[in-house]
Structure 1
């Protein structure tokens, strides 16, 4: 079963994402801050991470950097889900290791479509889709 780590500090958003992903048959672990995300990657070993950017403890960009610097986890696709959607933000997301981003608010359908696209791409050495 495909595993997805959801990193979202807003409880309602986290619950909606978890519900929608589980309804599609994904195994989901949800955490509410960046440090918990870094810790959860080792134990949960997700196939994909949905990462909010504005998070407590460490932000989503720093959490992504820390995850991507670990050789065992460097190829896990990261979907940034964020209210930060200015043109210059895309470069920051890419530099941190995010493979794609969606601007909030977005629909569950858009998230699911993007999740499917990211999971369908080959992982080792795959190019960014941003």
Structure 2
């Protein structure tokens, strides 16, 4: 069961995403800020990190840079979660070392497809229900 670290400061968004990913067979851990993300990634070695970029204190871009600079966490794929329509967020995320970017509001089948590709898993997104936290 792939382990996903969700880094999101919005409780309702984090909970909804967690529920959807658990239903798809992922094991979840969470952090609400960049410092927590770095700590959890070092302790838990998740298979992948979903990183909101707009976080308090240490933002997602800086957290990604630190994780990619650390030999113990640099190989963990990071998918940045950015705000739709905000210029340069995607480019900043890739420059910070993120492997991929997805925009909010999240399209869950698309995001799960990106997770599967990053982990080298078969893409099962065709079998997912429509978007929502349902």
TM-score relative to the length of structure 1: 0.86
Instruction: String of CA shifts for 1:24-80, please: whole Å, max 9, x gaps.
Output: 111110111111000001111101000000001210000011111111211111000
- 1:70-81 equivalences in 2 (<5 Å): 70-81=70-81
Unaligned runs of 5+ in 1: 122-130
Deviates more, 1:84-93 or 1:108-117: 84-93
Q: Report the Cα distance in structure 2 between the residues aligned to 1:16 and 1:112, rounded to whole angstroms.
A: 14
- 1:78-93 equivalences in 2 (<5 Å): 78-83=78-83, 85-86=85-86, 88-93=88-93
Q: How far has the Cα of 1:9 moved from its partner?
A: 0.5
> Which residue does the alignment assign to 2:6?
6
Q: Report the Cα distance in structure 2 between the residues aligned to 1:85 and 1:106, rounded to whole angstroms.
A: 13
Question: Equivalent residue of 1:98, what SS?
Answer: coil
TM-score relative to the length of structure 2: 0.84
- Stretches of 4+ moved more than 2 A in 1? 84-91
Q: Report the Cα distance in structure 1 between the residues aligned to 2:67 and 2:112, rounded to whole angstroms.
A: 22
> Which residue does the alignment assign to 1:45?
45
Give the aligned CA root-mean-square deviation in angstroms.
Answer: 1.5
CA contact (8 A) 2:61 2:93 kept: yes
Q: Report the Cα distance in structure 1 between the residues aligned to 2:58 and 2:96, rounded to whole angstroms.
A: 13
Unaligned runs of 5+ in 2: 122-134
